[in-house]
Chain A
C-alpha cells in the first residue's frame, strides 16, 4: 500500500511536501492508521506525529486521513483507503509545527473562552451538590468530548475565523455547562455567546457531526444554545 505523508519541518524545508512511502500490510489483518504510521516511522524515523493512549481516549492523534479528520488509532485502514492509497495530512486550518503536529493554541483559546468549569455562587453543601438522574441525563452526549479537535478543524467557519468563532468543540462544551443543573452562571454564559460570531457563525453544515470520532453531535448542541438565547431574549 502507498502511504503519502505530509512533511514539513520549518527549520529545514522552504515549503511542505508529500512523501510517498510503500508499506507492506500484514496478511489477514486490518491495521489502524496509527499502526501504519508506525510502519512509516520504521522506514523514516524523522516523521513527527502525536500519539498517546492508542485507543481513542486521549485525543492526541487527530489527523486528516484521505480527506477526512479522525483519530488515527481507532480508524481501520479498510474504512478509508481509496485505490490502495492512504494520504495523511495534519488537521486542516491550524498552523503546522512539524509534519502531522499542529499548533492547537487557537483551539484551546476558544475552549478557555467558554469557561469550561462549573460555576456556582451558592454556598457549598456539606456533601456534594446533588443532581437528579434526569438532570444528569441531560449531560449525556456532551461530556464525552475528548478535545481532539477533529470537528473544529473540519469546520470552514472555524478555518475563516478561528479567533472569533468558538467552534463546534467549544460550543458542545459551552452547552454542557449551560445544561448542567448545578451551574448558576447561565445568564453570563449566554450573554457571552450572543454576538454575531461566537455561536452564530455556525451555518449548520454538520461537518463536525460527520467526523466526530466519539459520535457526538455539536450541531444539535449549537441548536440548543440558539434556542436558549432565543428564550432569553423573548
Chain B
C-alpha cells in the first residue's frame, strides 16, 4: 500500500469514483448548455438571466462547479505526482510539487467562491 496525504480522498478508489462521477455530470451539464444554445438562436441577456436565476439551474450549476473543482484537483494532483517527482526534478521535487499543488488549490478555491458570487447575484 502506497500512502499519500495530498490526494483528494486518500484512497485511490474514492478519487477514481469521484473523477468518473464528476466527469459524467459535467458532460450532462455541458450537453444541456449546448442544447439551450442550439434551441435559442437569438439569445439575449433576459433569456440568459431567466435560465440561470431558477433554483433548479442554480443547484445544477453548483453541482457542476463542485464536480469541476473535485475533477480538476484529482487531475492536477495526478499530473503533479507523475511529472514533479525526484526522478524528474531531483531533490527540490518535494517543495516544487507542494507549491504547484498549493497554487492549484488556491486558484480552484478562488474560482469556486467567484462562481458562487456570480450565480447568486443573478
Interface set of A (CB-CB < 8 Å, partner B): 156-157, 160-161, 164, 191-201, 226, 229-230, 233
**Out of A156, A161, A192, which one reaches B85, CB within 8 Å?**
A161
A196 and B82 contact, CB distance less than 8 A: no
A195 and B82 contact, CB distance less than 8 A: no
Q: List 13 A-B contacts (CB under 8 A).
A: A157-B82, A160-B82, A160-B85, A160-B87, A194-B11, A194-B12, A195-B2, A196-B81, A197-B4, A198-B12, A199-B12, A226-B16, A229-B13
Closest 5 CB pairs of A and B: A200-B12, A196-B12, A197-B2, A160-B82, A196-B7
Q: With A160-B85, A230-B13, A233-B13 in contact, is A196–B4 under 8 Å at CB?
A: yes
Residues of chain A within 8 A of B2, CB atoms compared: 164, 195-198
Residues of chain B within 8 A of A226, CB atoms compared: 13, 16
B1 and A200 contact, CB distance less than 8 A: no
CA distance A195 to B17 in the complex (A): 13
A200 and B13 contact, CB distance less than 8 A: yes
Name which of B3, B12, B17, B87 has the most chain A CB atoms within 10 A of its CB. Answer: B12
Residues of chain A within 8 A of B17, CB atoms compared: 230
B contact residues, range: 10 to 19
The answer to the question of B37 belonging to the interface, with a C-beta cut-off of 8 Å to chain A, is no
CA distance A29 to B88 in the complex (A): 45
CA distance A166 to B96 in the complex (A): 25
A194 and B83 contact, CB distance less than 8 A: no
- Residues B63-86 near A (CB distance < 8 A): 78, 81-83, 85
Interface set of B (CB-CB < 8 Å, partner A): 1-4, 7, 10-13, 15-17, 78, 81-83, 85, 87
In this complex, what residue of B is CB-closest to A198?
Answer: B2
CA distance A198 to B15 in the complex (A): 13
Residues of chain A within 8 A of B15, CB atoms compared: 196, 200
Residues of chain B within 8 A of A196, CB atoms compared: 2, 4, 7, 10-12, 15, 81
- Shortest C-beta distance, B22 to chain A (Å), equals 15
Residues of chain A within 8 A of B85, CB atoms compared: 160-161
B1 and A198 contact, CB distance less than 8 A: yes
Name which of A157, A191, A196, A199 has the most chain B CB atoms within 10 A of its CB. Answer: A196
**Out of B10, B13, B82, which one reaches A161, CB within 8 Å?**
B82
- Shortest C-beta distance, B86 to chain A (Å), equals 10
A161 and B12 contact, CB distance less than 8 A: no
Name which of A161, A192, A200, A230 has the most chain B CB atoms within 10 A of its CB. Answer: A200
CA distance A176 to B67 in the complex (A): 35
In this complex, what residue of A is CB-closest to B19?
Answer: A200
- Shortest C-beta distance, A95 to chain B (Å), equals 11
CA distance A95 to B115 in the complex (A): 48
- Shortest C-beta distance, A129 to chain B (Å), equals 28
Residues of chain B within 8 A of A157, CB atoms compared: 82
- Shortest C-beta distance, A234 to chain B (Å), equals 9
A195 and B16 contact, CB distance less than 8 A: no
- Shortest C-beta distance, A190 to chain B (Å), equals 10
B16 and A200 contact, CB distance less than 8 A: yes
Residues of chain A within 8 A of B10, CB atoms compared: 196
CA distance A193 to B12 in the complex (A): 8
A195 and B4 contact, CB distance less than 8 A: yes
